[in-house]
Amino acid sequence: MTRSDFLPYGRQSIDDDDISAVVSALRADMLTTGPLVDAFEMALARATGAAHAVACNNGTSALYLAAKALDIGVGDVVIVPSMTFLATASAPHLAGAEIVFSDVDPDTGLMRPEDLETALKFAAKHRSERDVKAAFVVHLNGQTADMPALKAIADRSNVALVEDACHALGGLARTANDQGADGLDSVVGDCRWSSMAIFSFHPVKSVAMGEGGAVTTGDAAYAEKLRLLRNHGMSRLPADWENQGMAVSALGETNPWYYELVAAGFNFRVPDILCALGISQMRKLDRWSERRRLLHQEYCTLLDVAGLPDIAPARVSWGRPAWHLCAVRIPFAERGLDRASVMLRLRSEFGVGSQVHYIPVHRQTYWRHRYGVFGLPGADHYYSSALSLPLYPSLTDADVNRVVDALARTIS
Ligand SMILES: *Cc1c(COP(=O)(O)O)cnc(C)c1O
């Protein structure tokens, strides 16, 4: 095995056109906030069907911006599924909220309607249900949570929904044929059942910008607030200004240098250079999403052929995922297997990378110190069996064959 034979669990695809796009941006006048930020936002809005897209420097900032746009702060509670990346909980917490971790389906890792109900009841008992401002729903591995059902529950409790769609760009949340849908496709990020949706453009995600993130929303007021807050909370819009004495000259003209701080914010801007890469990558999204679907299907078919159909990723009955991860479910303990040894053997003997997504967030030291030690059986079970196999558009069918063969040899 040579180094180039190694198959990581995920990787970006950078072509010559991506490189040319970045080089052109470097030769342009604006390196940071320029015309390519707007163009990238338009491409994302078009791809998702959202009315507005606001780009920023990474997915974590996007989550934080969404929390701030919802006015989440100290005294508020946000519900977050424990099966996610750390940032889904850290971001609203840094905005001031306490987190109530919800459980997830033990097979898919997705927050179910009953998990949201249970988390709301927990919040009502330990704090006050009134304090629950939002639930951040995660579309794990590319599959979407049951948004219409979650929305019905959230509405009853006056709770906003934010979708962490970092895994799900390019997929459909519902198809026209799904039961309970109204005959229309719903694209991930169109925010049909949510206030906002979050995306990341980290290299391992389906579209790469190096670092990058975005919020999509159907609400113009949220979009305006997101734009304000990604740029320090400083406004150059006269409509936002209160201090007319400083804003306007003695002659009644708006002072050309004037801006006003209307909220305290960070610099979460994304440079034009990276948006050039994002725009170029977005052109390939449909093709790559289809390739991810085919590869995922190929994995399922070959696992079946290898006599391992029971470890294939669990499917929900709705939607059409543009799979971000291929997460098989191996009951390691029951089979007398040690997950670390399986991963090491896959790597050293077969050149196959793998990863675990994720350690349940409620088990992390920071949260344990804050909220104590407790079990969430669905999340704990999902974690105990999860293993992500290589999945990215440049993977070949032969690669998938090689991975399944290696896995079958390693765990049989
Ligand atoms: C990647 C990711 C994030 C964070 O995005 P960054 O761009 O790395 O900050 C948040 N949530 C999920 C589910 C992710 O996969």
In a domain? residue 269: yes
* HSE value, Cβ hemisphere, 13 Å, CA-based, for 274: 22
Which residue, by CA, sits nearest to atom 6 of ligand 1?
Answer: 59
3-state secondary structure of 209: coil
Ligand 1 in reach of 162 Cβ (< 6 A) = no
272, 312: one domain: no
The number of the ligand 1 atom at minimal distance from the alpha carbon of 63 is 10
In a domain? residue 239: no
In a domain? residue 93: yes
State the burial class of residue 412 (Cβ atoms within 10 Å of its Cβ: 0-12, 13-18, 19+).
Answer: exposed
60, 80: one domain: yes
The enclosing domain of 66 has a CATH number of 3.40.640.10
The number of the ligand 1 atom at minimal distance from the alpha carbon of 202 is 7
In a domain? residue 1: no
270, 158: one domain: yes
Q: Tally the domains of the chain.
A: 2
Ligand 1 in reach of 199 Cβ (< 6 A) = no
Ligand 1 in reach of 10 Cβ (< 6 A) = no
Dihedral of CA atoms 91, 109, 153, 88 in degrees, nearest 10, equals: 0
Ligand 1 in reach of 164 Cβ (< 6 A) = yes
Ligand 1 in reach of 194 Cβ (< 6 A) = no
Rg (CA), the chain: 22
The number of the ligand 1 atom at minimal distance from the alpha carbon of 61 is 9
25, 117: one domain: yes
For ligand 1, the distance from its centroid to the CA atom of residue 167, given in whole angstroms, is: 8
Ligand 1 in reach of 64 Cβ (< 6 A) = no
In a domain? residue 8: no
**pLDDT score of 7:** 97
| Contact status, residue 77 vs residue 127, Cβ threshold 8 Å | yes
In a domain? residue 360: yes
45, 66: one domain: yes
**pLDDT score of 260:** 97
User: What's the CA gap between 288 and 122, in Å, rounded?
Assistant: 41
In SS3 terms, 248-303 reads as ECCCCCECCCCCEECCCCCECCCCHHHHHHHHHHHCCHHHHHHHHHHHHHHHHHHH
In a domain? residue 252: no
Which residue, by CA, sits nearest to atom 2 of ligand 1?
Answer: 166
For ligand 1, the distance from its centroid to the CA atom of residue 237, given in whole angstroms, is: 31
* HSE value, Cβ hemisphere, 13 Å, CA-based, for 240: 16
Would you give per-residue pLDDT tens digits along the chain (412 residues)? Answer: 455 699 999 999 999 999 999 999 999 998 889 999 999 999 999 999 999 999 999 999 999 999 999 999 999 999 999 999 999 999 999 999 999 999 999 999 999 999 999 999 999 988 776 699 999 999 999 999 999 999 999 999 999 999 999 999 999 999 999 987 788 999 999 999 999 999 999 999 999 999 999 999 999 999 999 999 999 999 999 999 999 999 999 999 999 999 999 999 999 999 999 999 999 999 999 999 999 999 999 999 999 999 999 999 999 999 999 999 999 999 999 999 999 999 999 999 999 999 999 999 999 999 999 999 999 999 999 999 999 999 999 999 999 999 999 999 999 8
Q: Which of 255, 282, 309 is the last residue of a domain?
A: 282
| Angle subtended by helix axes 220-230 and 59-69, to nearest 10 | 120
96, 211: one domain: yes
278, 289: one domain: no
The closest of 116, 113, 60 to 87, measured between CA atoms, is 60
**pLDDT score of 129:** 61
For ligand 1, the distance from its centroid to the CA atom of residue 85, given in whole angstroms, is: 6
50, 32: one domain: yes
User: What's the CA gap between 116 and 124, in Å, rounded?
Assistant: 12
The number of the ligand 1 atom at minimal distance from the alpha carbon of 138 is 13
Token pair listed for 388 = 């992500």
66, 203: one domain: yes
Torsions phi, psi for 105 (to 5 deg): -65, 130
User: What's the CA gap between 80 and 365, in Å, rounded?
Assistant: 17
From 9, 57, 60, 206, the mutation candidate for ligand 1 (largest count of ligand atoms within 8 A of CB) is 60
From 200, 358, 391, the mutation candidate for ligand 1 (largest count of ligand atoms within 8 A of CB) is 200
The number of the ligand 1 atom at minimal distance from the alpha carbon of 211 is 7
In a domain? residue 362: yes
206, 311: one domain: no
Ligand 1 in reach of 60 Cβ (< 6 A) = yes
Domain span at 217:
16-234+263-282
User: Taking CA 195 as the corner, what is the angle to CA 194 and CA 199, rounded to the nearest 5 degrees?
Assistant: 85
331, 390: one domain: yes
39, 166: one domain: yes
